[in-house]
């Protein structure tokens, strides 16, 4: 089956899901466009409000939709009307600031001031500087077109680095239920600073070409969604972040280049929420049997690679939720497109896989399964306690043997907001990942897309300690001091003949270590427009060959890196 046929299948699936989940519901205003996970300002603000018990938040699944964010802002307004003494001046100014940023989601006309509107006499149209863009809104259709521009420059003892980018974002709503968005940007970096092997939180990039003058690459995101009062279904290409944590997550970190997926979210009652997606990953593994020659050119065909994942979230009491779910990374070697079983959102995919590979007589015909669990508590005001578990393989027999272990990655931590000092946030986090987590015997089924690990950025046999203090004295201005100790143990390979998957020593030898002290500051001038600066002290130690493998040369040794820049748009 060719790519165009796969696309037709996916479109049919979307239409069926819309009919099943949307057609049976009453038509109400519910529209979804996703706010990218890089918009840390609004994500941190909502997190702070949740820690103060102003709103209830499920931050195990990101990105949030703009409608969801606007709903939470409305809840904060109502809370403040009832308890006017509980929010301080800075928090109220932030609230007003973000209400303007999400004006397109409000049931009011465009609120932008006349002095920034260059189309004063046009009904429905408006230009604005806060946020920057061209906007249109009437009773049926609304739209925003915003620029994306940015530049940053950094320098340390190993040299200098520049990064520039530009593009545009368009999003909007049609009627009461349809949402759409698209975002494209071109990037140029003077030196390649991200690669699949590098142990960095920086988002992976689909590199277009290499050269002495630097690296150029482009990233395109977008989607179309249908939403109703208690659910959303959509076909999107975007980044996803699953799991709890403030310095990266260990389930889905959002580090890979964006990939296309069918996405489903349901919240029929207050105490239950369900999330699912079926994504088309990028395998980067050549299918030699299907590659061919055409017009004296070798046409390379890659193995198809897919992922299905779900998450069930329950809210037994307010400010407490726990989630569990599972996923599977699989291929269809016959080229037949997605498997129907994995298009069923609510299944336990390990059981499905065992059924499909029941005739396996010792080979590796099965696929790559994962299980995850999260618990989040904000029952103590100001304090967020959380735990996140990623399980690549589970056996209760390993728990009885001190020499054996399960293939687990877990993260636990807390965030304290507004106590003992207003506008101050303290975060502490610990992550440990056992050997062989995220690995698989078949390269086509690794827990990767575009060769980037989808889980924690340190990958397997690693641990991290993270501490951060963040202070926001006035609206839009943030200062952060953070310390990170990241360590990676022996670089095991699951396909080595001597690999002892459940008994090789955990962090027996530290072959790579990064001690990092970072000071960051950022000021959001108007919505989606900010300046930033940072000083990053790093000390990279370990085996020299592993330092070269896991770290860009720009950070080798002990470095103090100064970075500054300006950004418009996400």
Q: Are 155 and 181 in contact (CB under 8 A)?
A: no
For the record, the structure tokens of 268 come out as 């029929």
Give residue 205's pLDDT.
87
Between 56-70, 200-214, 422-436, 461-475, the lowest mean confidence (pLDDT) is in 200-214
Q: Is 399 helix (H, G, I), strand (E, B) or coil?
A: helix
Q: Kindly report which listed range (64-78, 137-151, 355-369, 520-534) carries the lowest average pLDDT score.
A: 355-369
What is the DSSP track for 16-38? HHIIIIITTS--------BPPTT
Matching residue, tokens 């990092």: 516
Rounded to two decimals, the pTM is: 0.92
Mean pLDDT, residues 301-305 taken together: 89
Say if residue 3's pLDDT is above 70.
Answer: no
**Residue whose token pair is 């001046």:** 89
pLDDT confidence of residue 566: 97
* CA neighbor of 540 nearest in space, from 519, 510, 562, 509: 510
Q: Quick one: which of 562, 554, 473, 567 has its CA closest to 520? A: 562
Least confident of 12-16, 109-113, 529-533: 12-16
Token pair, residue 264, equals 């489903």
Instruction: Return the higher-pLDDT residue of 533 and 401.
Output: 533
Question: What confidence score (pLDDT) does residue 292 get?
Answer: 84
pLDDT tens-digit series, residues 44-74 = 999 999 999 999 999 999 999 999 999 999 9
User: Is the pLDDT confidence value at 114 over 60?
Assistant: yes
- Provide the 10 A C-beta neighbour count for residue 452: 23
Percent of the chain at pLDDT > 90 equals 72
Q: What angle do CA 255, 195, 512 make, to 5 degrees?
A: 95
Using 50, 70 and 90 to split pLDDT, how confident is the model at 393?
A: confident
CA distance linking residue 125 with residue 120, whole number of Å = 8
Q: Answer yes or no: is pLDDT of 120 > 80.
A: no
Helical packing angle, 66-82 and 40-51, nearest 10°: 40
Q: Taking residues 396-422, report their average pLDDT.
A: 90
Could you tell me which of 49, 135, 50 has the C-alpha nearest to residue 94? 49
What's 3-111+123-568's CATH class? mainly beta
| Angle in degrees, CA 112, 117, 121, rounded to 5 | 110
Beta strands in 318-406 (DSSP E): 320-331, 368-377, 383-393
Average pLDDT value over all residues in the chain: 90
Task: Give exposure, 12-27, as e/b (b: 16+ Cβ within 10 Å).
Answer: ebbeebbeebbeeeee
Asked whether residue 196 carries a pLDDT value surpassing 70, the answer given is yes
What does the pLDDT average to over 521-530? 94
Tokens of residue 360, six digits? 């396996």
Report the pLDDT value the prediction gives residue 4, as an integer from 0 to 100: 47
Task: Tell me the domain boundaries of the chain.
Answer: 3-111+123-568
For 115, the 3-state DSSP assignment is helix
Residue 497 neighbours by CB under 8 Å, 6+ apart: none
Query: What's the rounded mean pLDDT across residues 346-374?
Result: 83
pLDDT at 124: 81
Average pLDDT over residues 158-187: 95
Q: What is the pLDDT of residue 1?
A: 43
Task: Evaluate whether 169 touches 570 at the Cβ level (below 8 Å).
Answer: yes
Q: Is residue 362 scored above 70 in pLDDT?
A: no
Taking only the tens place, the pLDDT of each residue in 447-470 is 999 999 999 999 999 999 999 999
Q: What is the 3-state secondary structure (H, E, C) of 246-308?
A: CCCCCCECCCCCCEEEEEEEEEEECCEEEEEEEEEEEEEEECCCCCEEECCEEECCEEEEEEE
Q: Is a pLDDT exceeding 50 seen at residue 197?
A: yes
- Burial of 513: CB neighbours in 10 Å, binned 0-12, 13-18, 19+: middle
Q: What is the pLDDT of residue 24?
A: 45
pLDDT over threshold 80, residue 27? no
pLDDT on residue 26 = 47
Count of C-beta atoms within a 10 Å radius of residue 516: 17
State how far the Cα of 180 lies from the Cα of 40, in Å rounded to an integer.
Answer: 22
Lowest mean pLDDT among 176-180, 342-346, 392-396: 392-396
What is the three-class DSSP state of 249?
coil
Question: Among the listed ranges 26-35, 373-382, 405-414, which one has the minimum average pLDDT value?
Answer: 26-35
Report whether pLDDT(482) > 80: yes
């Amino acid at each position: 089956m060719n790519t165009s046929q796969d696309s037709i299948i996916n479109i049919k699936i979307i239409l069926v899901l819309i009919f099943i989940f949307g057609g049976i519901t009453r038509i109400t205003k519910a529209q979804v466009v996703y706010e990218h996970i890089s918009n840390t300002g609004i994500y941190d603000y909502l997190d702070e409000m949740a820690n103060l018990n102003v709103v209830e938040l499920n931050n195990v699944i990101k990105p949030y939709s703009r409608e969801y964010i606007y709903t939470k802002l409305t809840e904060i307004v109502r809370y403040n009307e009832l308890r006017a003494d509980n929010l301080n001046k800075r928090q109220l100014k932030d609230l007003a600031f973000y209400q303007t940023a999400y004006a397109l989601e409000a049931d009011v006309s465009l609120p932008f001031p006349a002095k920034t509107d260059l189309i004063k006499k046009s009904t429905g149209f408006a230009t604005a500087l806060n946020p920057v863009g061209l906007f249109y809104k009437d009773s049926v259709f609304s739209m925003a077109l915003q620029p994306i521009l940015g530049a940053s420059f950094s320098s340390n003892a190993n040299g200098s680095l520049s990064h520039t980018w530009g593009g545009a974002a368009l999003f909007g709503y049609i009627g009461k239920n349809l949402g759409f968005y698209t975002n494209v940007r071109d990037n140029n970096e003077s030196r390649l600073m991200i690669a699949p092997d590098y142990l960095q939180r920086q988002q992976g990039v689909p590199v277009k070409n290499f050269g002495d003058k630097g690296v150029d690459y482009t990233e395109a995101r977008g989607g179309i969604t249908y939403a109703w009062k208690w659910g959303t279904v959509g076909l999107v290409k975007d980044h996803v972040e699953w799991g709890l944590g403030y310095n990266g997550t260990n389930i889905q970190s959002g580090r890979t280049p964006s990939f296309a997926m069918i996405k489903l979210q349901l919240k029929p009652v207050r105490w239950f929420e369900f999330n699912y997606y079926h994504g088309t990953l990028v395998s980067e593994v050549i299918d030699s049997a299907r590659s061919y020659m055409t017009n004296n050119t070798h046409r390379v065909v890659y193995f198809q690679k897919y992922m299905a994942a779900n998450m069930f979230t329950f809210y037994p009491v307010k400010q407490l939720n726990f989630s569990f779910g599972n996923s599977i990374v699989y291929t269809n070697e016959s080229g037949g497109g997605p498997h129907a079983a994995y298009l069923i959102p609510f299944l336990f995919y390990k059981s499905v896989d065992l059924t499909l590979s029941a005739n396996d007589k010792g080979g590796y015909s099965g696929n790559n399964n994962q299980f995850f669990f999260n618990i989040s508590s904000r029952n103590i005001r100001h304090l967020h306690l959380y735990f996140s578990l990623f399980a690549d393989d589970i056996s209760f027999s390993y728990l009885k043997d001190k020499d054996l272990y399960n293939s687990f990655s877990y993260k636990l931590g807390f965030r304290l907001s507004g106590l003992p000092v207003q506008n101050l946030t303290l975060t502490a986090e610990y992550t440990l990942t056992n050997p062989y987590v995220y690995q698989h015997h078949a390269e086509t089924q690794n827990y990767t897309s575009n060769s980037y690990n989808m889980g924690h950025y340190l990958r397997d046999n690693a641990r991290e300690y993270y501490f951060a203090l963040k202070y926001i004295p006035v609206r839009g201005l943030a200062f952060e001091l953070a310390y990170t100790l990241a360590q990676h143990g022996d670089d095991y390979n699951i396909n080595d003949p001597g690999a002892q998957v459940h008994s090789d020593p955990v962090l027996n030898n530290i072959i790579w270590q990064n001690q990092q002290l970072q000071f960051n500051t950022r000021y959001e001038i108007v919505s989606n427009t900010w300046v930033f600066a940072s000083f990053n002290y790093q000390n990279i130690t370990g085996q020299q060959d592993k330092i070269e493998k896991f770290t860009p040369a720009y950070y080798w040794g002990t470095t103090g890196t100064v970075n500054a820049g300006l950004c418009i748009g996400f």
